[in-house]
Amino acid sequence: MADSPDFPQGMSCPTPANDTERVQLGHGSGGKQTAMLVRDRFFAWLSNEILAKQTDAAVLNLGSTKIAVSTDTFVVKPLEFPGGDIGSLSVHGTLNDLAMMGAEPLYMTAGFVLEEGLELEVLDRVVASLARAAAEAGVEGRKGRADDTGDTGGAVEGGVPIVCGDTKVVERGKCDGMYINTTGIGQIDPAFTPSPEKARPGDAVIVSGPIGRHGIAVMAQREGLEFDVEVESDAATLWPLVERLRDAIGDAVHVLRDPTRGGVASALNEIAQSAEVGIELNENSLPIPQPVLAACELLGFDPLYVANEGILIAIVEEHVASDAVKVLQSHPLGAAAAIIGRVVSTNSGIVALKTAVGGTRVVDMLSGDQLPRIC
């Protein structure tokens, strides 16, 4: 692909000052404030060769075996929302971090922080949902899936077992009902190792499904907003899509990312910076559902920064891009897969959007937070 002649060099946007002596909500946004917090407060003390790579999961060598390990903490408010809850979300989010490293998920741990006064009925629903999501992870078409009543009739054969856990209870008002911390362990195929720094000029940028559903679903439930069409979270385990890409495309898949906190925009900025390339998006190609667009226009949000929990970004070699889209579309989770842009050699570390009216705008990382507490 030739680089666009009207994509100017050296584009940048000013950044608001972030000087503060206290933690702010924006520090959890996945944007610039998060990066500053991690760099200045954690890496200053904890950095090592593995942690410094800042990938979705750490890649560790155990003799001749490579494994991926990821940990995450879920603090979503409300605990239950259209399309999911904190229990299923904790499974999907953790296993997706493994999948983005090309790792087949094998085991999980789960730690619960419960608030005094939490209704046991709510706890039961969340734990049952977590168990179903873990049992069904990566399981396609097997008997034992939950029926319409939500009863699995026992654990699904296969899936990802929860192998250990912990429970703590804090005083009333010390957390929003429940927090869940998880760790996931997966096995890596040495022949399939996607990583952010592998993006190359000429590569195609693909998204596997509609953008922005999770963040809007959580926000609408939290604020009591109603739309003509209810928006449901897209939360799902993405390993089936990754497995199909691995089997069909192999190492022509250079990068995989799940655009959670900070949305598609933040994920692509991180990739552009890691690989020292530019990324150019086409606004007309973005699969944004009309209800999400309408909600964002009403509330003043940009859907590119809204969190997702059931789609992936794949950056692949140009010659396999069409095949990669077809592979994704062969699975229900990837039915709306589309090529949304390309990697370019100019404007290193910058993401730009070709607008529907023919202009170009920088898609920078947010300094603060559009939607706090969505994962």
| Beta-carbon contacts of residue 180 (< 8 Å; ≥ 6 apart) | 73, 74, 86, 87, 90, 110, 111, 112, 113, 130
Residue 367's alpha-carbon distances to 75, 185, 319, in angstroms, are 21, 32, 36
Q: Where is 25: in which H helix or E strand? A: none
> Does the pLDDT at position 314 exceed 80?
yes
Give tens-digit pLDDT for 213-233: 999 999 999 888 888 888 999
Of the chain, the percentage scoring pLDDT greater than 70 comes to 86
Q: Are 312 and 100 in contact (CB under 8 A)?
A: yes
Task: Report the distance separating Cα 270 and Cα 276, nearest Å.
Answer: 10
Radius of gyration of the chain (CA): 20
Residue-range domains of the chain with CATH: 56-141+150-190 (3.30.1330.10), 193-366 (3.90.650.10)
CB of 272 closer than 8 Å to CB of 348: yes
Res 183: pLDDT: 98
User: How far, in Å, CA of 318 to CA of 274, rounded?
Assistant: 20
pTM: 0.86
Q: What is the pLDDT of residues 260-290, one digit of tens each?
A: 989 999 999 999 999 999 999 999 999 999 9
